[in-house]
Amino acid sequence: MRTKVSHSGHAGVTVDQPSPRTPVRGRPRQWDDAARRERLIAAAEQVFVEQGYGAANMDAIARRAGMSKKTIYQVFETKQDLFAAVIESRRDALAAMIEGECSNDALAPEDVLSRYLRQIARFILAPRQAALYHLAVTESQRAPELANAFHREGSTNVCSPLTEWLAVQHERGVLHVPDPTSAAKMLFYMAIAELQMRLLIGECRESDEATIDRRVDCAVRVFLDGARGRASRPA
């Protein structure tokens, strides 16, 4: 379902959201633990984006999920825990997409980096993820735990495979990257930050694939021009 986000600051953003089915009257449906958790997370994501973190409450989430509030508290102790689970679920979805992108030794460095960053960019710049990021930013002053959870469960972990790959390339002498953690973050933001900012301020509604590819390719070229130029020099 495509939902118009009505929360302040989201005008004009269309978010692709999973829509839990309306509960059928009669005997309550029984879900196993995994299905119940997934349903709660999907419902919470919709409510957080539509109403904002501060205004969202467990009653609204329970209604959206078709469950009782008591059931929610059996799975998540606090609203903060539930929001962290929402971010974690998005991180896991990204991890499933990029799994193995940095493990193919047969590919040239530019191909590894381009494929990896394109996958991440398409995910992060999608309306659904952008809406969550916007929510974390706009409510960070009132609820700093929101931004902390988003940073901890999201962007901090996105660069881990890239960091590990850069470290291996440095050890092999293929690239000169003495600080792979910082290098991974710089490459990540060089490829994605401008497009993300344009999306968040409403300059564009969605980045098309051609624009993403051009930006990623440019960032990869600039990065490798520097890293390769020093690869043969002593660290």
72 shares a domain with 150: no
- CA dist 19 and 97 (Å) reads 22
172 shares a domain with 207: yes
**pTM to 2 decimals?**
0.69
What pLDDT, on the 0 to 100 scale, is given for residue 21?
A: 46
| Within a domain: 95 | no
Task: For 10-58, write each residue's pLDDT tens digit.
Answer: 434 344 444 444 444 443 455 678 889 999 999 999 999 889 888 899 9
Domain count, the chain: 2
Q: What is the mean pLDDT of residues 169-174?
A: 94
What pLDDT, on the 0 to 100 scale, is given for residue 146?
A: 72
Task: For 96-139, write each residue's pLDDT tens digit.
Answer: 777 766 777 788 999 999 999 998 888 888 888 888 888 877 77
Domain that holds residue 14: 2-79
109 shares a domain with 66: no
120 shares a domain with 58: no
Give percent above pLDDT 90 in the chain: 35
Q: How confident is the model at residue 151 (pLDDT cuts 50, 70, 90)?
A: low
Residues 6+ apart with CB under 8 A from 184: 159, 162, 163, 166
Q: How confident is the model at residue 9 (pLDDT cuts 50, 70, 90)?
A: very low
Q: Is the pLDDT of residue 172 over 90?
A: yes
Give percent above pLDDT 70 in the chain: 77
What pLDDT, on the 0 to 100 scale, is given for residue 230?
A: 60
107 shares a domain with 74: no
106 shares a domain with 74: no
What pLDDT, on the 0 to 100 scale, is given for residue 83?
A: 86
Instruction: Specify the DSSP class assigned to residue 173.
Output: T
61 shares a domain with 130: no
More confident residue, 22 or 229: 229
| Within a domain: 90 | no
Mean of all residue pLDDT scores within the chain: 79
Q: What is the mean pLDDT of residues 162-187?
A: 93
- CB-CB contact of 224 with 110 (8 Å): yes
223 shares a domain with 179: yes
221 shares a domain with 143: yes
SS (H, E, C) 60-117: HHHHHHCCCHHHHHHHCCCHHHHHHHHHHHHHHHHHHHHCCCCCCCCCCHHHHHHHHH
CATH number at residue 59: 1.10.10.60
What pLDDT, on the 0 to 100 scale, is given for residue 217?
A: 95
Task: Name the residue among 179, 155, 178, 142 with its Cα closest to residue 90.
Answer: 155
180 shares a domain with 69: no
